[in-house]
Chain A
Amino acid sequence: MELVILILRIYTIFEIAILLIYTLRHFVFTFNRIFGEQRLYYQDIVDSDLDKVTILVPMHNEELVARDVMTQLTTVVDYPRDKFEVIPINDHSSDGTREILDGFAAKYPFIKPLHRDEGGRGKPHGLNDAMDLATGDIIIVFDADYIPSKGIVRDIAICFKDQQVGAVMGRVIPKNTGTNMLTRLLDMERSGGYQVDQQARHNMRMVPQYGGTVGGFRKDVALWLGGFNPYLLTEDTELTFLLFLRGWKVVYANKAECYEESPEDWGVRSRQISRWSRGHNQVMMKSMIPLFRTKHLNFKEKVDGLLLLLIYSIPLIMIIGIPVSLLLFFLGQMNLIDMFLIFILVAAYNSFGNFAPFYQIGTASYIDGVGDRLKLLPLFFFGFLFNVLYISQGAASGMLDVILKRNPEWAKTTRFRKKE
């Protein structure tokens, strides 16, 4: 019995140590963002010789949102038309997406829809096929529910003037924030993730992440890397690590803002975070050893890369910790120190399971100028176990995918935009 207690205690200490490391990490990020010197991207470069850009917009049954994103790209986005093409990827849609895209293509010659009715479905498949057709040197991806702003293509494309830059990530801002409690909380979570987390990692020359949308990458590099693995659910995380492991840099452009539609119900949210977690952990299983071996990253970047890779495994560690704590309780091992540890653990666990401690979200929201909505911060508590459950589910699936060599199917995020 003593051995069992010892193992349980070691696990608890391991769990707390991991959570404290993440708390410290986010503390450093937060203070860097609020007090540190901010590192710009390349928006101040003025160059008339802009690279040719291909915009890819993956779509599967996106009739609710397709018209909006295409309208933005055709009438608002500001980039020389001779160096600009848009390839909306109609990926096995069975709704009116095809007709919408064809309508735009008839009107604008730089719109070149790719209708995919055969072959595997999913974003990586679509991106691979579209890259074969793309004539641009730079690929910029927008998800179908995004609303690109006027200067965003130039802002992202100009970064590639630096030959070390392999990918660029812009900032995602929810548009439907006021819809309900979930969207309000997601807005603050997004704020913490971009305004503080990504910008601090960019400031500190660590590992900012390419997020798969509102971002771009070099086409030739992506093709040289073999394109996207169609069986990984987070092609963005995969590309981030493939680039860093080969000596390329990822730039975070905090001013390159783009509006998105965030999930409006918990069902969609659960599938989204579960998919992110599954894909992220697939990449974690594949990238962990190369991360240690690569000579292209310094110690600081390796540590940050490791913590980034592990981030979606934390809820799994935590969910295993629940029965461990219960066992310790019934074995009479729950003393005062454990009570404190539990408290710290909860406090440390990134304030309610969303990878951003309360002070990180608070700081980000303060910088963003959020007022009354900040009062909702304690409500993240109610999503705590929800996040832990679905991220753990995704994490376990992702790890098993790699071990059992399974090929998961791509799942599309449901849209909520109203039809008019």
Chain B
Amino acid sequence: MLSALFKSDSSSLSLKDPEVIEKSQRESIASLPENLREILDPGSAIEKNQIYYHRSYRKLKQHSLLNIAVQVLVQIVLIDFFIFYYYPQITEAISKVTKAVLATAISQELIEIVPSLYIYDNVHVVTLPGRYPSLKLSIIVAVLSLTFFFLSISLKRVIEPKFVWLIFISFINLTASLFFIFYSGYFPYDMEVFSEMYIKTEVGIWIIIPFILTIALLPFPIKMIKKVGVIILTILYSMVFALVRYIVFLYLLRTTTYLFMALMFFMLGPFLDFIYIVGSYSLCLSTAGKQTQKKMELWNWLF
């Protein structure tokens, strides 16, 4: 096996011999910036007790079909079974909490929880009367968005990521405000429709999370209990985050009008959900990576 113990690797053997290094070489290297010397200076070679597979062609050992089947069964089928079984109760709980919180700022008589059919059973959503923006508000938002949009574009400098996001937000708000200036009566959504779409999307995301994380983490030698833990924690986070956003969305739509519904829809909806899913994946993989990098039995070379 290549992992046999060596005092040092072959390159360091020759490079460490000062006779091999010509004087001119050493002078040239000494003249380099400090950050490059560590790469170039043969004298900086590190003595190694064990040679691990080089990163270029190492790979992980393939899982057996049984292992994959068990992962799919436990991490997807089982977890999704619970979500399918309990989503009516979970959405009801979310709606009740949302109603209770909103009732502290909005008259309780205006807030209702209504059922809506989804997959095979009802989800529960909060509905309350919404408000259309005034012409004045629409014009102000349109002018501000337009000004920012053109200012950003006409500034002949590079637009950094945060400004690109602001331009995107301005573009959505500009479109929405123009719509409400000219076609206010044709706005096709109300609070109930928005609530339904939001809650149903979130339920869909809870169902999708086990798929995404199971497939993405499938290759890695991580104990199944950890993978299950990551998936469950991600779903729980998603539920709490969905609840918080739901309260904020409904409150903002009620107080600032439907003008900002498009923004919530495109910027703060499922778009944001993907970030924490990737976050869970990266946390899990980062931890696993540190634990498994030097376990030679987990790695293969070429085949």
* Residues of chain A whose beta carbon lies under 8 Å from any beta carbon of chain B: 27, 30-31, 33-38, 40, 67-68, 71-72, 74-76, 147, 149-150, 171, 175-176, 195, 254-255, 257, 259, 266-267, 270-271, 322-323, 325-326, 329-332, 334-336, 339-340, 342-343, 346-347, 351, 358-359, 362-363, 365-378, 380-383, 385-386, 389, 417-418, 420
Contact = CB atoms under 8 A, between A and B. Distances in A.
Interface in B179-216: 179, 183, 187-189, 196-197, 200-201, 204-205, 208, 212, 215-216
A385 B215 CA distance: 26
Interface string B36-55: 10011000000000000011
A336 B274 contact: no
11 contacts: A40-B302, A75-B22, A330-B188, A335-B197, A336-B200, A342-B271, A359-B215, A366-B220, A366-B288, A367-B58, A374-B289
Nearest to A37: B303
Residue of A255, A362, A372 most packed against chain B (CB within 10 A): A362
Give the bracket for the number of chain B residues in contact with chain A: 35 or more
A420 B33 contact: yes
Nearest to B62: A35
B219 A34 contact: yes
Interface in B245-303: 262, 265-266, 269-271, 273-276, 278-279, 281-283, 285-286, 288-290, 293, 302-303
B237 interface: no
Q: Which 9 A-B pairs have the closest CB atoms?
A: A332-B188, A377-B282, A343-B270, A267-B158, A374-B286, A255-B56, A386-B161, A378-B279, A75-B25
Interface of B: 11, 22, 24-25, 28-29, 31-36, 39-40, 54-60, 62, 157-162, 164-165, 168, 171-172, 175-176, 179, 183, 187-189, 196-197, 200-201, 204-205, 208, 212, 215-216, 219-220, 262, 265-266, 269-271, 273-276, 278-279, 281-283, 285-286, 288-290, 293, 302-303
Contact of A254 (B57, B265, B282): B57
- The secondary structure that dominates the A interface is helix
B290 A371 contact: yes
A372 B291 CA distance: 12
- The secondary structure that dominates the B interface is helix
Contacts of B172: 326
A101 to B, nearest CB: 15
A159 to B, nearest CB: 15
Contact of A322 (B25, B165, B171, B286): B171
Residue of A359, A365, A376, A389 most packed against chain B (CB within 10 A): A359
B269 A339 contact: yes
Given A339-B197, A371-B286, A378-B276, A417 B33 contact: yes
A381 B201 CA distance: 20
A38 B302 contact: yes
Given A31-B219, A322-B171, A373-B286, 4 more contacts: A30-B219, A147-B39, A322-B168, A420-B33
